């Protein structure tokens, strides 16, 4: 192929491959989708044909998050884009970089068409910060800069609406990549001086980690800062593993709820590192201690107005502050024993004890022990997520994948598929409720076709448990939120999965032992007793 006369779609595929994109996820239409599939195949980007468009965008977002590259998805016009909308919302609020290429109508077609027609731009516009690009005549320099923004620190989705003619148009010039190495450094500012003084005179600082800090590059800097400060650390769900769960400074999870208040109420200074307000529950900020906010993005609205905010690359902020910490003048009264007491109180508060049957904490603890915490875990929205995020022994960033910004059901299984593609040897473990799995059952076919190294654990309690416990808390009558428990093991077996059913600790333990030996798709259908969920949620959230 003549490099000087390549088509636009070939340029796009080549550009995305150079940025680290390796998979294209989606359900194609019959227009420019086919051109994109053809071009990406030539540039070693593999198509993953999914059952649904929303799952495709979630897979693309998670793969991009793990690969530090733009995720790539496609869909057709009309129903395809409408189906993809929940995935776009997830990418937006869960801070994942995705480029969705959506088919659109050609020039003049809307003069006579009404079939599948609605305002596609209006549908996605509220979900996008990086915007959309309607392509009739490609401006390569502008597009290249736009694509480069997808891999920036804000991690947001974008939608491209190309026509088939635009995809096939010829590019007559070479385009230099607009990717630039960041040289931004945190300079000596008044805020920095004040932050250093506040830290060095603090007696009981507490650190709260958020999603911006959850990268492999930043994790060592975070740990160095925390160890120098000798402070307890709490992390949001999405920052799990940035400080390992086994670390002596780890004190538990922070959601903005009740269970962490015993620890944070002892603080005379709260240091936020990369906390995104999208991660917290719908309760006001509960603390009066002064706050230092280290962030890379300013968010409005926020739960609080910090006393000092350093908005700069976190690596720079942490390096400077760590170097300026004064261990000799520090009055910190924290000890490992005190932090351990808070950590053990956190675990005890979320433990579910049943006289018989299987609880969600039983399932997570047994799976963590047998799988040794090695597969990457993805977690769905639902009551089971409290146990999953608390008791899974995360050691590195993104050891747990969760939709915490949108908190959408149907996330765990597609996320686990993407994680298994990213790291087939490590594999992935999806913990999902029965309601969440019902939303994306079609992806069992995707996993089987890919022979993905994935194990799905279904918390089968026959109910929308998280919603039902809120009904129970409000002392409302039965509102029909339950159903007969499906036989997910039989369904999965029909797709070629290895599968097991478990109704006791012994049966579940044996199923995990067998699943661990498998390399390929498997599923464990676990009958869960949901009776402990209400007290667990009260302990966590208040």
Q: Is the separation of the CB atoms in 276 and 404 below 8 Å? A: no
pLDDT the model gives residue 384: 92
**Residue 354: predicted pLDDT:** 84
The C-alpha angle 481, 483, 484, rounded to 5 degrees, equals 160
Q: What average pLDDT does the segment 498-504 reach?
A: 96
Contact 288, 382 (CB under 8 A): no
- Residue 200 in tokens: 């060095």
Cβ–Cβ under 8 Å, residues 251 and 185? no
Per-residue buried b or exposed e for 225-238, using 16+ beta carbons within 10 Å of the residue's own CB? bbebbbbbbbbbbb
Residue 179 has pLDDT above 60, yes or no: no
pLDDT number for residue 138 = 64
Max Cα–Cα distance, the chain, nearest Å:
77
Is residue 485 very low, low, confident or very high in pLDDT (cuts 50, 70, 90)?
confident
Q: What is the mean pLDDT of residues 283-300?
A: 95
Read off the pLDDT band of 213 (50, 70, 90). very high
Determine the pLDDT at residue 111. Answer: 82
pLDDT tens-digit map of 409-418 = 999 999 999 9
What tokens appear for 130 in the block?
């990086």
pLDDT confidence of residue 1:
41
pLDDT at site 42? 96
pLDDT score of 201 more than 80: yes
Length of the chain, in residues? 542
Model confidence, pTM: 0.92
pLDDT at residue 115, as a whole number: 87
pLDDT of 3 > 70? The answer is no
Question: Which of these ranges, 32-46, 125-139, 353-367, 438-452, has the smallest mean pLDDT?
Answer: 125-139
Average pLDDT over residues 311-338: 83
Weakest-pLDDT range from 79-83, 169-173, 328-332, 425-429? 328-332
In this structure, is the dihedral angle defined by the CA atoms of residues 245, 247, 248 and 252, taken in order, positive or negative? Answer: negative
Q: What is the mean pLDDT of residues 433-453?
A: 96
Instruction: Please state the rounded mean pLDDT for residues 495-507.
Output: 96
Q: What pLDDT is attached to residue 183?
A: 42
pLDDT at 181 > cutoff 60: no
């Amino acid at each position: 192929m003549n490099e000087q006369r390549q088509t636009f779609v070939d340029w796009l595929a080549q550009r995305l491959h150079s940025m680290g994109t390796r998979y294209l996820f989606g359900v194609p239409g019959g227009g420019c989708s086919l051109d994109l599939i053809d071009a990406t195949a030539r540039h070693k980007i593999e198509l993953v044909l999914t059952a649904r468009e929303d799952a495709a965008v979630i897979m693309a977002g998670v793969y991009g998050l793990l690969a530090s590259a733009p995720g790539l998805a496609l869909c057709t016009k009309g129903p395809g884009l409408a189906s993809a909308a929940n995935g776009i919302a997830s990418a937006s609020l869960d801070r994942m970089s995705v480029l969705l290429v959506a088919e659109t109508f050609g020039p003049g077609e809307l003069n006579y068409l009404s079939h599948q027609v609605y305002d596609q731009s209006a549908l996605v516009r509220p979900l996008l910060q990086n915007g959309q690009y309607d392509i009739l005549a490609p401006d390569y320099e502008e597009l290249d800069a736009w694509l480069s923004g997808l891999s920036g620190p804000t991690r947001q989705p974008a939608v491209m609406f190309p026509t088939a003619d635009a995809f096939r148009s010829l590019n007559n010039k070479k385009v230099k990549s607009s990717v630039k190495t960041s040289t931004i450094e945190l300079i000596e500012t008044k805020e920095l001086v004040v932050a250093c003084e506040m830290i060095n005179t603090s007696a009981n600082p507490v650190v709260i980690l958020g999603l911006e800090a959850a990268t492999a590059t930043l994790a060592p800097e975070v740990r160095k800062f925390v160890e120098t400060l000798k402070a307890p650390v709490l992390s949001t769900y999405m920052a799990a593993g940035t400080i390992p769960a086994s670390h002596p400074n780890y004190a538990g999870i922070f959601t903005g709820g009740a269970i962490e208040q015993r620890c944070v109420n002892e603080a005379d200074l709260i240091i936020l590192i990369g906390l995104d307000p999208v991660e917290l529950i719908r309760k006001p900020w509960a603390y009066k201690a002064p706050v230092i906010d280290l962030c890379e993005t300013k968010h409005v609205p926020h739960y609080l107005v910090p006393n000092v905010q350093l908005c700069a690359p976190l690596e720079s902020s942490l390096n400077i502050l760590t170097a300026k910490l004064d261990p000799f003048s520090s009055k910190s009264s924290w000890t490992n024993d005190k932090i351990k007491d808070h950590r053990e109180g956190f675990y005890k508060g979320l433990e579910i004890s049943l006289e018989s049957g299987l609880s969600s904490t039983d399932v997570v603890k047994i799976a963590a022990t047998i799988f040794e915490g090695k597969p990457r875990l993805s977690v769905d929205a639902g009551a089971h997520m409290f146990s999953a995020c608390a008791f899974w022994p995360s050691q590195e960033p993104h050891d747990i994948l969760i939709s915490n910004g949108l908190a959408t059901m149907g996330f765990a299984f597609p996320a686990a598929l993407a994680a298994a593609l990213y790291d087939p040897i490590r594999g992935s473990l999806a913990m999902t409720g029965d309601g969440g799995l019902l939303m994306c059952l079609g992806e069992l076919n995707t996993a089987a076709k890919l022979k993905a190294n994935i194990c799905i654990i279904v918390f089968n309690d026959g109910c929308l448990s998280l919603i039902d416990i809120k009904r129970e808390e409000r002392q409302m009558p039965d509102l029909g939120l339950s159903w007969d428990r499906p036989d997910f093991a039989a369904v999965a077996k029909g797709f070629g999965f290895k599968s097991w059913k478990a109704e006791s600790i012994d049966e579940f333990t044996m199923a995990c032992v067998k699943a661990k030996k498998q390399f390929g798709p498997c599923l464990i259908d676990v009958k869960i007793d949901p009776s402990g969920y209400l007290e667990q949620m009260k302990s966590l959230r208040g």
